[in-house]
Amino acid sequence: MVAAHKKARALNPKSRRPAKELCSECGLCDTHYIHYVKEACAFLNQQIPALEEAAHGRSRDLNQEDDLYFGVHQSMMAARKTDPIPGAQWTGIVSTIAIEMLNRGWVEGVVCVQNTQDDRFEPKPLIARSPEEILAARVNKPTLSPNLNILEEIEASGLKRLLVIGVGCQIQALRSVEKKLGLERLYVLGTPCVDNVSRSGLQKFLDTTSRSPDTVVYYEFMQDFQVHFKHEDGSEEKVPFFGLKTNQLKDVFAPSCMSCFDYVNSLADLVVGYMGAPYGWQWIVVRNPTGQAMLDLVQDQIHTQPVTAQGDRKQAVQQSIPAYDQGVTLPLWAAKLMGIFIERFGPKGLEYARFSIDSHFTRNYLYVRRNYPEKLDAHVPDYAKKIVAQYRLPKN
């Protein structure tokens, strides 16, 4: 029997969301679970420590640097599939875990995101019930995706064991309503997420950054300080971060992502990204025993190595603050030179991950302070305040 819970009428797709411009279109408000929006929405009610406690048995220890940065975890490693999945974002560890969980009967369905027939970047969330459907959802849709719009379908389907794949804001809302879904078992496989965009924002980013926007099938902000684009014909294009036309791109990132402090997906059981690993490897954060059990399913299909850290990010972060803030763009030759220098001498491994977290948290802290000063104190978690306090910020 489905757990009794309160319902409210879902919003129609065009109407304004309760979080207004900060809405990340996570999908909750497309369902009758909108009844819980004030509590569940990541942008209306930041409650990461309490949800960490519920999901992992404790909240992160702010006096331990790895906890402070990467959230509650029992282990981290670099990994890659011995036999990568063609067309996956990296080597396809996420899709592989999901397929194994389905094939072995751990779950009856997997919430993931395919793309629509006409647009390779337009997200289409679904509950996949076959390996083929999971595989068809591989690769990032680098746009805000309403993954939780399937919540009513979960309830109606009578599924009892489910895996949800998602990014931080989706997972925060999911964790808040998890007990109301009538599931016997929920597994959460997360990816880190930062600087996401609406579909029209994505077009602007591609148009201003790539030599051939219409043929891009994949892109990633890589650890070598360049954006790597892959095109339909298999060719690669690299654009240095420091050469991005930040003056034109200033407003391209969604306001939700400019005010997000859950880069590392704190509430997933297992997180699979790349930013704490050497180039070409994925980065795995096992948050709790459930996450370990999920990872164990694919141990015979992956190589692993310990995570490492090199360099010192602090100066680079301090210098990035005015660059982000004022939208500074370097000429291409200078951007390339700076990229080569930073790649050779700059932060690597976990230190690169900390660089990326520090520069995004300082930028986002300034954004919230300027645009939503009344939200600042409650919305910024204590771990993020501690990270931001390491840097000198402009006065206003």
Residue with smaller CB distance to ligand FAD, 112 or 294: 112
Stretch that binds ligand FAD, among 87-95, 174-182, 211-219, 344-352 (CB under 6 A): 87-95
Confirm or reject binding of residue 316 to ligand SF4 (CB under 6 A).
Answer: no
Which residue type is seen at 35?
Answer: H
Confirm or reject binding of residue 90 to ligand FAD (CB under 6 A).
Answer: yes
CB of 229 to ligand SF4, least distance (A): 29
Beta bridge partners of 112: 126
Sheet holding 236-240, edge to edge: 216-221, 226-231, 236-240
Residue with smaller CB distance to ligand FAD, 19 or 137: 137
- Alpha-carbon distance of 163 to 35, in angstroms, equals 23
Residues in binding contact with ligand FAD, number by CB under 6 A: 35
| Torsion sign (Cα): 81, 85, 90, 94 | negative
CB of 38 to ligand SF4, least distance (A): 9
Confirm or reject binding of residue 41 to ligand SF4 (CB under 6 A).
Answer: yes
* Burial tier of 86 (Cβ tally within 10 Å: 0-12, 13-18, 19+): exposed
Tokens for 222? Answer: 């890589």
| Residue 17 binds which of ligand SF4, ligand FAD, none (CB < 5-8 A, kind-dependent) | ligand SF4
| Torsion sign (Cα): 265, 268, 269, 272 | negative
The b/e string for 119-154 (b: 16+ C-beta within 10 A; e otherwise) is eebebbbbbbeebebbbbbbbbbbbbbbbbbbbeeb
Cβ pair 263, 280 in contact under 8 A: no
Answer for which of 35, 60, 73, 141 binds ligand FAD (CB under 6 A) is 141
| Residue 28 binds which of ligand SF4, ligand FAD, none (CB < 5-8 A, kind-dependent) | ligand SF4
Residue with smaller CB distance to ligand FAD, 243 or 273: 273
Binding residues for ligand FAD (CB under 6 A): 88-95, 112-113, 123, 137-143, 145, 147, 165-167, 191-194, 196, 220, 272-275, 282-283
